[in-house]
Homo-oligomer: A and B are copies of this chain.
Amino acid sequence: MRKISIYDTTLRDGAQTEGISYSVNDKVLVARKLDELGVHFVEGGWPGSNPKDLEFFQKVKKIKFKNSKIVAFGSTRRKNKRASQDPSVKALVAAGVKYVTIFGKSWDLHVKDVLKASLDENLKMIADTVKFLKSKKMTVFYDAEHFFDGYKNNPEYALKTLKAAEAAGASVIILCDTNGGTLTSDVIKIVGEVKANINTELGIHTHNDNAMAVANSVAAVEAGCIQVQGTINGYGERCGNADLCSIIPCLELKLGMYCLGNKKLRELTEVSRYVSEVSNMKQQDNQPFVGSSAFAHKAGVHINAMLKTTRSYEQISPESVGNKRRFLASELAGKTSILFKAKELAYDLTKNDKNTKKLHKLIQKLEYEGYQFEAAEASFELLIKKTLKQYKKFFELEGFRVMVEKRQDNKLISEATIKINVNNTREHTASEGDGPVNALDSALRKALQDFYPELATMHLSDFKVRVLDSKAGTAAKVRVFIESQDEKSSWWTVGVSENIIEASWQALVDSIEYKLLKERERKK
């Protein structure tokens, strides 16, 4: 079984994502998680480029990692300097790690127009830097930046740069598609040609600017590379780096290679979500393998076929990467998908049960009115509970009033007042907010907090509004989705009305009732 080593650069290249800004502590959290997952190399940062990365290397010195080697990243020495006197190279030594990756130029255009160095000097910069770091007893990986563009432009020179690194003792030479524009057919061809000329082991590092980062990485491994560099969730500058969450399952499950092993592979979905949380980025629903929609079936014909054999519309089993199959309750599908969905949520309904019929009718009616449950599983589960009489009301609304005022000085005020009744105790309170929905949410929680302190752990995390087409002669309806989360999970609820405040209210109430019902069940 071919072994492929996984090299993660989430903390360096991934940190270049628009919107990501890691603290040193965030970086440590991610490094620990990658270690747990069994990733072989974790590139922690570029100590020569910023003090935050320097601090990271200080911190991780004290941590014992079970599986991962921590790698420091840097560049070849500057032109016409000595490697031993280059501050950025010295910072690599100071980082106190045993593994370093340095990048150098393979593309003559970059040597001439960006470095403004001679082609010869560039070869010396590569050789000197590798040699110097080797003399410090470090394992040196050499990232050949822009290798594919360089090779296309001047293959002879591009190969010379690799040979310089090879002669100087680099352990692995990594071919980088830095601009992410290389086609897979070119990757296959070029990796093959390099292999015929270079004896050192090869690695691959790709970017996703042409949406081929994963295909290019996997094709490069098929063509002989033994190390893959990428990031969790494909984070990275512009369109991102190659997503390890796709590459690893492709190599293990499709090509029968060994990266982390089957057992660790089942942690992949959780790792993806964890890293997205630490990175403060929403996980993409449609992310291959690990996204929440990756195994979500909506088309009626697909669902029917899936009930016969799951291979019919799934490339792999969701469990193998720790993900879950979902059948979306969709207007395009019928009773079967409702039953399936109910089963998934652990409700035992059969096709001819009168409750099933009731539920089916109810959902048809609500979908006709504009509700949509495929993206609001918590509201769907509440409907099941209501149908099965497993539901209890937690409070009665006596009334609310939401007010937005704009004054001449342009100042805006949003305020909500609310009257509710919990077990015959009346609560009448008010709150302000950033907008009317926020004010209403905040007033409702304030009114409920003494009765249900567990609500303190949940908060509204996302909000979507869709205006539905108006039917002739009536006003347009508004459909609101609300996502809430607590420390354990997140859930979506839905509301529909001609009035956006009322639609939001419905979704808010569902989200709170869902939380309270779940807490009761946990305590049972």
Contact = CB atoms under 8 A, between A and B. Distances in A.
A323 to B, nearest CB: 11
Interface in A442-479: 462-469, 472, 475-476, 478
A286 B208 contact: yes
Interface stretch (A350-358, A387-395, A496-504): A496-504
Interface string A222-263: 100000000000100111100100100110001100000000
A523 B406 CA distance: 34
By size class, the interface of chain A is: 35 or more
A181 interface: yes
Interface stretch (A132-140, A193-201, A209-217): A209-217
Nearest to A24: B469
Contacts of A397: 406, 408
Given A210-B214, A239-B287, A404 B499 contact: yes
Contact of A398 (B282, B287, B332, B408): B408
Contact of A210 (B250, B299, B311, B469): B250
A315 interface: yes
Taking each of A114, A407, A464, A472, which has the highest tally of chain B beta carbons within 10 Å of its own beta carbon? A114
Interface in A408-438: 408, 412, 414, 434-438
Contacts of A249: 210
A298 to B, nearest CB: 5
Contacts of A301: 49, 75
11 contacts: A113-B312, A181-B315, A238-B295, A239-B291, A399-B405, A399-B408, A401-B403, A401-B406, A436-B500, A462-B467, A464-B467
- Total copies of the chain: 2
Interface stretch (A61-69, A121-129, A183-191, A335-343): A183-191
Nearest to A235: B286
Contacts of A214: 210-212, 215
Contacts of A291: 239
Interface in A313-352: 313-316, 328, 331-332
A294 B254 CA distance: 30
Given A113-B309, A293-B239, A315-B209, A436 B501 contact: yes
Interface in A471-524: 472, 475-476, 478, 497-502, 505
A291 B180 CA distance: 15
A5 B331 CA distance: 32
A19 B399 CA distance: 32
Contacts of A468: 23
A276 interface: no
